[in-house]
């Protein structure tokens, strides 16, 4: 959930590079750039600049809104980070347009170092880049640094009973329910249902053909979520309706207007509310029916039903429903984008593809008699590293954002100390951290071996060198679950199909709410059944 939300800031910044997204080779873009279109590229760029700057200002103002105090710079004891003002930002426009958002932030990093402040329309955002300066960002107490009210717009999506509809103490307890429901030891029971879903899904493919893997992954992952998270009642009897309602909530709940004004009676907000009421009704019936019949299932919904607050109070039906919708939301795009990037990376790097297939051969023969189980998937280190490396290069949440409630100090690798003032918005760009060259050797290269026992680049660089799943207090609760489902899918594909990427390696579509692989990922498959 949070992952989707934090990257919203990136989405706004990403609008700045729209001109680059409108690639003249792309038929969709050709339409936009056609001469009879009233806007030429330059004016489009200018409009996007204006819109994006406005959006960023409104967004940051909104985050700061909860408690606006004037930052008294003289109260600071040390030095403030170097300031990048609007003019300096404008000078980076060509980099943004020609090379993209990560390149622009990286240029700032190279020029100003690991800590700098970006100022636009009088609003300041401090960027922290690299493990040396992000410890407090990730580990600070909620009372010192938190998401602020950035995620307020999730309240009408998940309901007032959970998350940002509640006070910090209750929300922290609810986060514990998520952690416990998805803890790695609980994953064992998910492996068999995941395998069944995956085998059933790919059994419907023909002997050979061409598919858009991006779309295929999206559908399959929703089936897995509905089975493992929501449970068999939903999967077997009402998948289509639940899937449609979830889409309605998501499509209408994460528009820019809904994000900024979640309670405005716009048509989109009304559709979102209507869909949530119906989805809540359906899921509440499922929860009630389990409670009344005493039936206990082995899925995440059940774990949330069984969760208890510290004072012994069990979760209410409304809370269980809100918590499970939040999980669906958190895992959906992050997982499907990761599986698509993994496909693009693996299928365009034959050496690693071969290594991943060889690993499948070894593990399949080891588990020939008992069949692949939890332990078998845990042993798939090569595949794990291939996914992790795809995520390093293409994190679905390229920027994480917090608000400092108390001033704090950071010390850079070079020993410089800076004060980050109270009430500042603080951001850390995963996309840049994951590519720091003193941590990752040849960071631009797709090289899963960097995570192997000899190199362990993500570990030797420090605790927060690899932040695709965030870190510390808000580290992704679903990391182990996400890896497991991706490995179950990829293990099946590698064991049963020859795959060939026939569309170009995708660019990143920064114009989306969550940056994603742009366009279709067309893959030619042929069933081989060798393993």
Q: Give whichever of 328 and 376 is closer to ligand HEM, judged by the CB atom.
A: 328
Q: 3-class SS at 121?
A: coil
- Structural element, H or E, at residue 496: helix 479-496
Q: 3-class SS at 498?
A: strand
Among 482, 494, 514, 523, binds ligand HEM (CB under 6 A): 482
Position 378 contacts ligand HEM (CB under 6 A): no
Position 335 contacts ligand HEM (CB under 6 A): yes
- Structural element, H or E, at residue 270: helix 267-293
What distances in angstroms separate CA 87 from CA 53, 84, 91, 92, 118, one per listed residue? Answer: 13, 8, 6, 9, 11
Question: Minimum distance between the CB of residue 210 and ligand HEM, rounded to whole angstroms?
Answer: 26
Position 327 contacts ligand HEM (CB under 6 A): yes
Position 320 contacts ligand HEM (CB under 6 A): no
Q: Which two tokens stand for residue 68?
A: 């606006």
Question: Minimum distance between the CB of residue 445 and ligand HEM, rounded to whole angstroms?
Answer: 21
Q: Give whichever of 243 and 367 is closer to ligand HEM, judged by the CB atom.
A: 243
Position 226 contacts ligand HEM (CB under 6 A): no
- Taking Cα atoms as reference points, which of 123, 183, 223, 126 lies closest to residue 420? 126
Q: Give whichever of 469 and 513 is closer to ligand HEM, judged by the CB atom.
A: 469
Q: Restricting to residues 60-119, which ones interact with ligand HEM according to CB under 6 A?
A: none
Q: Give whichever of 113 and 331 is closer to ligand HEM, judged by the CB atom.
A: 331
Q: Which stretch binds ligand HEM (CB under 6 A): 91-99, 175-183, 312-320, 372-380?
A: 175-183
Side-chain half-sphere exposure of 394, counting CA atoms within 13 A: 28
Among 269, 338, 385, 465, binds ligand HEM (CB under 6 A): 338
Q: Which two tokens stand for residue 84?
A: 């990048």
Question: Minimum distance between the CB of residue 225 and ligand HEM, rounded to whole angstroms?
Answer: 7
Among 102, 331, 429, 515, binds ligand HEM (CB under 6 A): 331
Among 451, 481, 513, 525, binds ligand HEM (CB under 6 A): 481
Position 515 contacts ligand HEM (CB under 6 A): no
Q: Give whichever of 20 and 134 is closer to ligand HEM, judged by the CB atom.
A: 134
Q: Give whichever of 112 and 469 is closer to ligand HEM, judged by the CB atom.
A: 469
Q: Give whichever of 338 and 496 is closer to ligand HEM, judged by the CB atom.
A: 338
Position 125 contacts ligand HEM (CB under 6 A): no
Position 1 contacts ligand HEM (CB under 6 A): yes
- Interhelix angle for 188-203 vs 213-225, to 10°? 140
Q: How far apart are CA 506 and CA 297, in angstroms?
A: 40
Q: Give whichever of 290 and 392 is closer to ligand HEM, judged by the CB atom.
A: 392
Among 434, 477, 496, 518, binds ligand HEM (CB under 6 A): 477
The residues pairing with 115 across neighbouring beta strands, listed in sequence order, are 128
Among 148, 478, 515, 517, binds ligand HEM (CB under 6 A): 478
What distances in angstroms separate CA 296 from CA 11, 300, 323, one per listed residue? Answer: 41, 11, 18
What own/partner pairs with CB < 8 Å and gap ≥ 24 does 205-210 have? 205/497, 205/525, 205/527, 206/527, 207/526, 207/527, 208/524, 208/525, 208/526, 208/527, 209/524, 209/525, 210/502, 210/522, 210/523, 210/524, 210/525
In sign, the C-alpha dihedral spanning 440, 445, 448, 450 is: negative
Position 382 contacts ligand HEM (CB under 6 A): no
Q: Which ranges constitute the DSSP H helices of 15-100?
A: 18-21, 27-33, 41-65, 86-91, 93-99
Question: Minimum distance between the CB of residue 430 and ligand HEM, rounded to whole angstroms?
Answer: 7
Q: How far apart are CA 101 and CA 512, in angstroms?
A: 13
Q: Which two tokens stand for residue 120?
A: 């636009």
Question: Total binding residues for ligand HEM by CB under 6 A?
Answer: 26
Say if residue 10 carries a ligand binding annotation: no
Q: Give whichever of 9 and 275 is closer to ligand HEM, judged by the CB atom.
A: 9
Question: Minimum distance between the CB of residue 110 and ligand HEM, rounded to whole angstroms?
Answer: 24
Question: Contact 509/516 with Cβ under 8 angstroms?
Answer: yes
- Taking Cα atoms as reference points, which of 428, 355, 356, 434 lies closest to residue 394? 434
Question: Minimum distance between the CB of residue 236 and ligand HEM, rounded to whole angstroms?
Answer: 20
Position 175 contacts ligand HEM (CB under 6 A): yes
- Taking Cα atoms as reference points, which of 500, 503, 498, 501 lies closest to residue 520? 503
Q: Give whichever of 258 and 338 is closer to ligand HEM, judged by the CB atom.
A: 338
Q: How far apart are CA 266 and CA 270, in angstroms?
A: 6
What residues make contact with ligand HEM under the rule CB under 6 A? 1-3, 6, 175, 178, 182, 327, 330-331, 334-335, 338, 391, 396-397, 400, 468-470, 474, 476-478, 481-482
Please report, in range form, the residues annotated as the binding site for heme: 476
């Amino acid at each position: 959930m949070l992952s989707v939300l934090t990257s919203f800031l990136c989405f706004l910044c990403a609008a700045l590079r729209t001109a680059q997204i409108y690639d003249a080779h792309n038929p969709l873009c050709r339409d936009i750039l056609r001469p009879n279109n009233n806007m030429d590229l330059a004016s489009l760029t200018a409009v996007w600049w204006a819109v994006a700057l406005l959006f960023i200002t409104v967004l940051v103002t909104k985050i700061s809104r909860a408690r606006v105090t004037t930052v008294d710079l003289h109260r600071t004891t040390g030095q403030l980070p170097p300031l990048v003002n609007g003019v300096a930002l404008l000078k980076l426009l060509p980099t943004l347009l020609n090379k993209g958002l990560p390149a622009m932030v990286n240029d700032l990093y190279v020029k100003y170092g690991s800590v700098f402040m970006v100022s636009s329309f009088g609003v300041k955002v401090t960027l922290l880049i690299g493990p040396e300066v992000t410890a407090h960002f990730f580990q600070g107490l909620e009372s010192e640094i938190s998401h602020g009210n950035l995620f307020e717009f999730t309240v009408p999506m998940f309901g007032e009973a959970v998350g940002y509809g509640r006070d910090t103490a209750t929300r922290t307890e609810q986060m514990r329910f998520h952690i416990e429901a998805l803890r790695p030891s609980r994953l064992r029971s998910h492996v068999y249902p995941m395998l069944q879903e995956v085998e059933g899904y790919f059994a419907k493919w023909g002997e050979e053909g061409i598919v858009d893997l991006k779309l295929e992954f999206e559908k399959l992952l929703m089936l897995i979520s509905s089975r493992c998270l929501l449970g068999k009642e939903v999967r077997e009897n009402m998948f289509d309706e639940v899937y449609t309602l979830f889409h309605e909530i998501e499509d209408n709940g994460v528009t820019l207007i809904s994000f900024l004004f979640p309670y405005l009676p716009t048509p989109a907000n009304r559709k979102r509310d209507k869909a949530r009421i119906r989805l809540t009704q359906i899921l509440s019936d499922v929860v009630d029916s389990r409670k009344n019949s005493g039936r206990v299932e082995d899925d995440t919904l059940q774990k949330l039903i069984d969760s208890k607050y510290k004072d012994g109070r069990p979760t209410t039906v409304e809370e269980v429903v809100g918590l499970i919708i939040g999980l669906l939301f958190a895992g959906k795009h992050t997982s499907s984008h990761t599986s698509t990037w993994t496909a693009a990376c693996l299928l365009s790097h034959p050496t690693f593809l071969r290594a991943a297939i060889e690993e499948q051969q070894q593990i399949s023969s080891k588990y020939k008699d008992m069949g692949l189980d939890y332990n078998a998937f845990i042993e798939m280190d090569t595949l794990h590293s291939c996914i992790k490396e795809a995520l390093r290069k293409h994190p679905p949440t390229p920027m994480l954002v917090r608000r400092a409630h108390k001033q704090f100090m950071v010390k850079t690798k070079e020993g410089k100390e800076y004060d980050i003032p109270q009430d500042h918005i603080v951001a850390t760009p995963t996309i840049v951290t994951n590519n720091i060259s003193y941590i990752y050797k040849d960071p631009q290269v797709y090289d899963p071996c960097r995570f192997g026992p000899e190199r362990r680049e993500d570990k030797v660089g420090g605790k927060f060198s690899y932040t695709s799943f965030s870190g510390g207090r808000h580290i992704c609760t679903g990391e182990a679950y996400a890896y497991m489902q991706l490995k179950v899918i990829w293990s099946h594909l590698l064991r049963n199909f020859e795959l060939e990427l026939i569309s170009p390696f995708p660019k990143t579509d920064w114009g989306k709410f969550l940056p994603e692989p742009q366009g279709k990922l067309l893959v030619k498959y042929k069933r081989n059944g060798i393993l």
